[in-house]
Structure 1
Amino acid sequence: MVRVKICGITNPADAVAAASYGADAIGLVFATGRRQVTIEKAREIANAVPPYVNVVGVFVDEAVGEVNRIIDWVGLDTVQLHGSESPAYCREVRAKVVKGIRVREGYLEELASYKGCVSGFLLDTFVPGQPGGTGQTFDWSLAVQAKEYGPVILAGGLTPENVRKAIETTLPYGVDVSSGVETGGMKNQDKMRRFIEQVRRYNYAGTA
């Protein structure tokens, strides 16, 4: 069963829509960028999310004390870290941790260093100077090797048109999408619905 996370949610309506289409998780970005939300807005969105939908906070090199404060205030279920956070840092976070890893030469050694101290890994495309959210794909076959270190969530350039192929190539624990379900920088509810439908069709059909 491949899980789906819709990341970069900025308002309650999009969160509720994503959940209604079958998203397993929604992502709230606290790092600087166009999808960044305040903790007040994040709490409003989290409160609108129905039961059993995981609320994920996305951070980049934030002080661990501040991350834990936001976890408590907003009610985050999971934290996704995309900076240079160390394994020791990850152990201090008071929620499940998904470590974002940008796929490049030597990335398996980086994965190995976090094994046992995080709940899973989000694999994204390496673009110099950008921690993630580039909307670019990488060689999906590289993600297969990563699964021995923990659950793998595939990200980077996924769309309703290519997510089925990505899943068939890597058989990941989950998939994560943001820009691939946007139009003009805003979430497009039809694209969210079609993206989730493609994953659900795979789940029902298996590899057939």
Structure 2
Amino acid sequence: MNVKVKICGITRLEDAQVAIENGVDALGFIFYKKSKRYIEPNKVKEIIKNIPPFISKVGVFVNEDINDIKRIGKELKLDILQLHGEESVEYLKELEKGFTVVKAFRIKDIRELEKIKDYKIKWFLLDTYSSKEYGGTGEKFNWEIVKEAKKYGKVILAGGLNSENIKLAIDELKPYGVDISSGVEIDKGIKDRKKIIDIMRIIKDD
């Protein structure tokens, strides 16, 4: 399994444990209060206490005050900060002084790739654009855009990934990583054990 796998929108310890038992590389915790997958930092702290070493802990933020991000990142010892809003190049560079940062870009069409050039980053996440939500829509975007995006860096693919399309996504696009959320849920923020097991088996067998 060469592709890196992150399960995002974790809100329960039992979901984190199932994901880890089945081979994920990273867990994502959403600190955007308007998200239905929002989790309070104190609850994340309790989950992290029970996570074994070598599992990356990712904090997902949307247009958050930069000082609040730094504080949460340090308190929880987050390994990666994932920025899912309209954060500027300067904002990202400031956070990179103390953290590994992944910038997410919500894709409407191929013109969105022009934004990536400005950030000059080694890796980035591509997700489906929605006017209603910052990620976690369960919808795919045009994957042909991913092929073009790879010339700017390593692509982490998100948006509508599930057990029915994950093999095609990995085989066809060969992304650096995949970010899965709604595709393994019963409800927003509540993961389905069987769906996690099924999608991880497909990925590992790929």
Instruction: Tell me if TM exceeds 0.5.
Output: yes
Give the Cα separation in 2 of the matches to 1:114 and 1:130: 23
Instruction: Report matched runs for 1:1-208 at 5 Å.
Output: 1-32=2-33, 33-93=35-95, 94-105=98-109, 106-116=111-121, 119-185=122-188, 186-202=190-206
Contact 1:141–1:169 under 8 Å retained in 2: no
Give the Cα separation in 2 of the matches to 1:122 and 1:158: 13
Alpha-carbon deviation of 1:76? 0.4
Residues 184 and 63 of structure 1: CA distance in aligned 2, closer, same or farther (over 3 Å): closer
Contact 1:16–1:50 under 8 Å retained in 2: no
Give the Cα separation in 2 of the matches to 1:61 and 1:108: 20
Question: SS at 1:48's partner residue?
Answer: coil
Alpha-carbon deviation of 1:158? 0.5
Give the Cα separation in 2 of the matches to 1:78 and 1:38: 17
Alpha-carbon deviation of 1:129? 3.6
Give the Cα separation in 1 of the matches to 2:50 and 2:102: 23
Question: SS at 2:60's partner residue?
Answer: strand
Contact 1:98–1:120 under 8 Å retained in 2: yes
Give the Cα separation in 2 of the matches to 1:34 and 1:102: 18
Provide the identity percentage: 43
**Amino acid across the alignment from 1:20:** E
Question: SS at 2:76's partner residue?
Answer: helix
Give the Cα separation in 1 of the matches to 2:36 and 2:182: 11
Moved over 6 A (4+): none
Give the Cα separation in 1 of the matches to 2:45 and 2:39: 10
Question: SS at 2:48's partner residue?
Answer: helix
Give the Cα separation in 1 of the matches to 2:58 and 2:151: 23
1:6-50 deviation digits (Å, cap 9, x = unpaired): 000002221121111000000000002111111100111122211
In the alignment, structure 1 segments of 5+ residues that lack a partner are: 203-208
1:73-120 deviation digits (Å, cap 9, x = unpaired): 11100011011111111111121111110112321111111113xx52
Contact 1:120–1:150 under 8 Å retained in 2: yes
In the alignment, structure 2 segments of 5+ residues that lack a partner are: none
Question: SS at 1:72's partner residue?
Answer: helix
Contact 1:159–1:180 under 8 Å retained in 2: yes
Q: With structure 1 as the length reference, what TM-score do the two structures score? A: 0.92
Q: With structure 2 as the length reference, what TM-score do the two structures score? A: 0.93
Which structure is higher in RCO with an 8 Å CA cutoff and minimum separation 6? 2
Question: SS at 2:49's partner residue?
Answer: helix
